[in-house]
Structure 1
Amino acid sequence: MRIVADLKRCEGLGMCESMANDYFEVDEDEELVTVLLDSPPDADRAHVYAAVQACPVLALSLEG
């Protein structure tokens, strides 16, 4: 599984970062998400999936 961020959709709301700050960071100046680790281990997949699903503008997705 790989995390993909659509920066054209991202509004920097930070839901992903608040739910999984080991994987997402929102730059307050640019108001865009940075994926810190794009391939989470199996143990964290459910946690990351929940953070991706929480994005209100659908800027995050999972591949694979």
Structure 2
Amino acid sequence: MSMMDKLKQMMKGHESHADKGVDKSGDFVDDKTQGKYSGQVDTGQDKLKDEFGTGGREDRPQP
């Protein structure tokens, strides 16, 4: 079992907590870099949410 599989297994059932952590860490990076890399940070946050969290399902309306 890979490390990624282990992390996914640990996060199962705690997707909203993972999303909060991703948001908080992204905000921290934006603060420290004064928003210089906000586009890249947002892209990273979206990818992490897709992998470990809700995938943005809470924020985005479903078609």
Same fold (TM over 0.5): no
More helix, by proportion: 2
Q: Greater relative contact order (Cα 8 A, min sep 6): structure 1 or 2?
A: 1
TM-score, with length taken from structure 1: 0.31
TM-score (norm 2): 0.31
